[in-house]
Structure 1
Amino acid sequence: MSERSGQGPMSQTRRWVGLGVAVLLIPVGLGLRLLPGLVGDLAGGVAYAAMIYALLVAIALRLGRSGTTLLALVLTLGIELLQLTGLPAAMVEAFGPARYLLGSTFAWLDLVSAAAGVAVASGVDALLTRSRRARG
C-alpha cells in the first residue's frame, strides 16, 4: 500500500512520529514563550506552527506532505488573521487557556513565525521520509 493511502508500515510509523512530535512540541513551545520579548514570541510561534503540522501528519496521512504543508499554513495563518477580529481576545477573556490555542492579539511577525514553523516541520518531514526510504 502506498504512503499516500494512509496505510502500510511506513505510514503508520509516520503517523506515530507525528503524534509524538506534536506532544513533545507542547511543552517546548510553552517553554520558548518564556524567553524574553520578541525572541520568545517568535520561537513559540514557530513551535506552535510545527506542532500543527505534526498533528496533521498524525491525523491526515492521505494528504501527503504537500497537502499537509498547505493545510498547516492555512490553519496557522488563519488563526493568526482571526486575531484581527477580536474574537480570540473575547474567547480568552471568557476562558483563559484559549490563549494557548488562539492567541489574543495580532502581530504581523506572527505570520512570519507561523510560516517558518510550517516550513521547518515540512523540511524535517521530507528529510526523515527520504532517510527512511533510503534505508529500505
Structure 2
Amino acid sequence: MTSPDADADADADVRASDDRAATRHADPAAGWVGDRRRAFRRRLVALVGAGMTIAAGLLVHRVLPDTAASDIAGDALYALLVYLLVIAVAPRLRIRLAAAIGAAWCVAVELLQLTGLPASAGASFPPAMLVLGTVFDPRDLVVYLVTIGFAAGTDAALRRIRTDRALTARSAR
C-alpha cells in the first residue's frame, strides 16, 4: 500500500505527462495541431510576414496611382494580412480552418461596406478606411478568396516540405 503523498505525486506525474502529450498531439476534432515550439515559430513567421505585408500595403496605398491594378494589389495584401494575423493569433489552427476564418472576415468586412458604416468611420478616422474599406466591390470578394486560397495552399505546401524533411532526418539517424 502506498502513502497518500506518493499517490498524489504519481497523479501529478501522470497529469504532467498527459499535458506534455497534449502539446505534441492535439485533439484533431478541436482543429489544433503541433507542439509549442512549432507554434511559436509559426506565430513568429506569421508576425514577420504580417509586418512585411503591412509595409507593402502602405507602399501600394501611398506610392502607386489609384488604378484597378493597385486596388487589386491592395485587396490581395489585405487578405494575406488577415490570413497571417489569424495564424499569428492561433498558430496551431489547421490551415483550412485558418483560411475559412480569414475568408469569413474579409467577406464580412466587404459586406459591411454595403451599410455605409465603414465610409462614415473613415470620414471620422481616416486610418479606418485601410481596415474597413469604403465602397463595396464584388471583385474584392474574388480577390480575397483567391488570395487566401493561395496563401493557405502555400502554407500547406511549406508544412509538407518541413514534415518531409523532419521525417527524412529522423530516418537517417
What TM-score does the superposition give when structure 1 sets the normalisation length?
0.92
Q: Between Structure 1 and Structure 2, whose CA radius of gyration is higher?
A: 2
1:80 to 92, 99, 110: 110
In the other structure, the counterpart of 1:112 is: 142
Aligned equivalents of 1:115 and 1:87: distance in 2?
Answer: 23
Q: Secondary structure at the match of 2:136?
A: coil
Aligned equivalents of 1:35 and 1:21: distance in 2?
Answer: 25
In the other structure, the counterpart of 1:71 is: 101
Runs of 4+ in 1 over 3 A off after TM superposition: none
Structure 2 unaligned blocks of 5 or more:
1-23, 27-31, 167-173
Mean alpha-carbon deviation: is it higher for 11-20 or for 74-83? 11-20
Q: Deviations over 1:45-70 (max 9, x none)?
A: 01110110001101112431111010
Amino acid aligned to 2:98: T
Q: Deviations over 1:44-98 (max 9, x none)?
A: 1011101100011011124311110100000011101100000000100110110
Mean alpha-carbon deviation: is it higher for 10-19 or for 87-96? 10-19
Distance 1:129 1:103, change over 3 A: same
CA shift, 1:35, in A, is 4.8
The alignment status of 1:18 with 2:46, answered yes or no, reads yes
Q: Percent identity?
A: 35
How many residues align? The count is 136
The alignment status of 1:97 with 2:127, answered yes or no, reads yes
In the other structure, the counterpart of 2:36 is: 8
Q: Does structure 2 conserve the Cα–Cα contact (< 8 Å) formed by 1:50 and 1:120?
A: no
**More helix by proportion, 1 or 2?**
1
Aligned equivalents of 2:54 and 2:134: distance in 1?
Answer: 18
The alignment status of 1:57 with 2:87, answered yes or no, reads yes
Q: Secondary structure at the match of 1:114?
A: helix
Amino acid aligned to 2:35: Q
Asked which structure has the greater RCO (Cα within 8 Å, sep 6+), the reply is 1
